[in-house]
Structure 1
Amino acid sequence: MENRKLSICMIGFGNAGKEFCRMLMEKKEEIKNTYNFNVVVTAISTRSKGALFDPSGVDLNRALQEVETEGRFFQNNPQRIDGSALEIMQKSEADVLIELSTLSIEDGQPAISHIEEAFRNNMHVITANKGPIAWDYKRLKKMADEKGLALLHETTVMDGTPIFNLVEKTLPGCKILGFKGILNTTTNFIMEEMEAGSDYEAALKEAQRRGFAEADPSMDIDGWDAAAKTAALINVLMDGNATPMTIDRTGISGVTLKDIDDAKRKGGKIKLLCEGFRDEDDIKGRVYPSFVDNKDIFSNIDSTTSVLSISTDLMGEICIVERYPEIQQTAYGVYSDLLTLIKDYLK
């Protein structure tokens, strides 16, 4: 059987995008042999590195080498072009948009506009940006469904851990009653360092040194990243209408060493929890630091590990743990969505 071509336009080429391209190159022949698709990246658009376009396929090896060497695509790269993200999407005429731009917690833009434009151009969408799922999931999903297009987003919570696929594919007939999770690496690491005796500022600096925290850590420390993930889970798993702004949010900046020591004496730890729950006819979410007993599985979620416990009406409580993820696990989430697209939408 002759291989069908599947072309990709990427917006964003950070660590996850680069790792996805390495994974794609490694698995390209396997995809051909298994699914009869020849997958090529025909366009890459970035905010700071420049843009590349070639209808026969961008030279990913060269793109990776240039970005690793100079932090951008070289001016003399014959595939380099100028144009906005939307212009390059239109020019690419790709089958799939992979949206990897930076999260805007205020409104989910410009990722939402990128996804809208993709649907207008009959492109399937894979997004690792949690903004559109946290801010505008129902409307975007309706747009996709009306045109028979995919909106895939496994990477938006817990990297490549199959959270959304777990519910959609393996829990038929189950209603999600609620969930609880530890979903932010930076805050979990900081409080673990404080348990070991570091004060808050020293723990934060160590998180920044190791690359867990940004120079401006407020997205994590103030609970915004966790709130966006909570909203995304509510919107997809519970058919809610949450946004990061509707999540009852308390970060960890008020947690003191005394609070940590008091929790130790009581036989537990303090963790930043994310919750979604049904309150009569409403679905609510909250992010807050809370005491967790040492007998609870959540007390063992250390360092960069994450956990999500999902409560259902028919299957009870299911708990899934992601231990010590690296950038490969984030890239795998995008790759797994690509395979889902091929298997479920491109038969």
Structure 2
Amino acid sequence: MKTLRLGLLGFGNAGRAFAKILEEKKQEIQGSMECDIIVTGITTGSRGSLYNPEGIDLKKAWSELEKAGHFDKDGKNYCEMTSLEFVEKGEYDVIVEMTPLDIFTGQPATDHLRRAMERGKHAVSANKGPIAWHYKDLKELAEKMKVQFYYETTVMDGTPIFNLKDETLKFCKVTEVNGILNTTTNYVLEELATGKAYDDVIEEGKRIGFVEADPSMDIEGWDAAAKVTALLNVLMEADITPKEVDRTGIENITLKDIQKAESQGKVIKLLCTGTRTDGKVKASVKPTLVEKGSLLSVISGTSSVLQITTDLMGKLTIIEHDPELLQTGYGVFSDVLRIVRNLV
């Protein structure tokens, strides 16, 4: 039986969700794929790191973080190794990039992936930054080094968008994408429509977990811009960055705007679009009026939707209904399984 060694950069909610799936499915993977997947290193920014080339006890690792908020400093696998140090010196076959997103540079996540691939290691990214800012360079490096590079979790959690294009839409050319990709703005617009004040909506959203501590990246459209950029870079070979997206957020949308849309039989949604015109891909993120009763109008809460138009299969629509951390963890898990399958 072969062994695949993973290095996990970051061990937040998504990382722990992935680790739990990996542990739960361990025997099934061994039985059906004849592969033992182990984790040799876990690095975090402020909670310590773990390293053991023979494999880390994942149950113990996530239990320590969930109970104490920090790895046990007296544990035999505890260390202060940084993510970059592990990437450059650690023993692993696949690096899994799950560090916090820098939406304006894609760093240091991009360097983590680049250094790993330069060592001949496979790479999985749950971080959308590298795909939005440096996808072409990373893809070319992966091809040069003959390593696998996957990133399913970067848009719509574990929903198989990139897998769909790679595995089942062979020779299809994507000509347009559009969708609702930011769930925070969904929530805020819906709550504003009930007459609540903007500040009250934000505070309530933070309390129940729909809104980040700093909501500006969502409200101003940056998160959506990074997601549509990642989609276009992969699906349409756009080679653009979030700064090239025609971006308008929802920070200036008022109850009056929402009521005016209502009077016209429409609702406001933050819509992401990408089209190819005269050989160049153009992207936008804008509050858009959509007809009530249409598919886009009923996407609510934490749900997302993506419509992909192709030359051979027409328009396809993918909806993710109210995802939780399990789906995010599964996106990483599915990428790791692709690597296992391709190593057979």
Which has the higher mean CA deviation after the structures are superposed, 7-16 or 273-282? 273-282
Residue 12 (structure 1) aligned with residue 7 (structure 2): no
Which residue number corresponds to residue 91 of structure 2? 93
Which of 189, 201, 204 in structure 1 is aligned with 2:202?
204
Looking at structure 2, the residues matched to 171 and 122 of structure 1 have their Cα atoms a distance apart, in angstroms, of: 29
Residue 71 (structure 1) aligned with residue 74 (structure 2): no
Judge conservation of contact 2:7–2:94 (CA < 8 Å) in 1: yes
Counterpart of 2:100 in 1: which secondary structure? Answer: coil
* CA offsets 1:138-173 (integer angstroms, 9 cap, x no match): 110010011111110000000000011111111112
Q: TM-score, normalised by structure 1?
A: 0.97
Show the 5 A alignment for 1:76-155: 76-155=74-153
Residue 179 (structure 1) aligned with residue 173 (structure 2): no
Looking at structure 2, the residues matched to 248 and 191 of structure 1 have their Cα atoms a distance apart, in angstroms, of: 20
* CA offsets 1:76-114 (integer angstroms, 9 cap, x no match): 111001222121223322000000011101110000000
Judge conservation of contact 1:43–1:89 (CA < 8 Å) in 2: no
* CA offsets 1:109-154 (integer angstroms, 9 cap, x no match): 0000000110122110000000000000011001001111111000
Judge conservation of contact 1:308–1:320 (CA < 8 Å) in 2: yes
Which residue number corresponds to residue 51 of structure 1? 49
RMSD: 0.9
Any unmatched runs of 5+ in structure 1?
none
Judge conservation of contact 2:118–2:145 (CA < 8 Å) in 1: no
Judge conservation of contact 1:177–1:311 (CA < 8 Å) in 2: yes
Which residue number corresponds to residue 162 of structure 2? 164
Q: State the aligned residue count.
A: 344
Letter in 1 for 2:146: G
Looking at structure 2, the residues matched to 120 and 314 of structure 1 have their Cα atoms a distance apart, in angstroms, of: 37
Counterpart of 2:211 in 1: which secondary structure? Answer: coil
Which residue number corresponds to residue 246 of structure 2? 248
Taking every aligned residue pair, what percent have the same amino acid on both sides? 47
Q: TM-score, normalised by structure 2?
A: 0.98
Any unmatched runs of 5+ in structure 2?
none
Shift of 1:28: 0.6
Residue 324 (structure 1) aligned with residue 325 (structure 2): no
Counterpart of 1:339 in 2: which secondary structure? Answer: helix
* CA offsets 1:161-199 (integer angstroms, 9 cap, x no match): 001111111111211011101000111111111122222
Counterpart of 1:314 in 2: which secondary structure? Answer: coil
Looking at structure 2, the residues matched to 248 and 228 of structure 1 have their Cα atoms a distance apart, in angstroms, of: 12
Judge conservation of contact 2:177–2:273 (CA < 8 Å) in 1: yes
Shift of 1:288: 0.5
Looking at structure 1, the residues matched to 275 and 90 of structure 2 have their Cα atoms a distance apart, in angstroms, of: 42
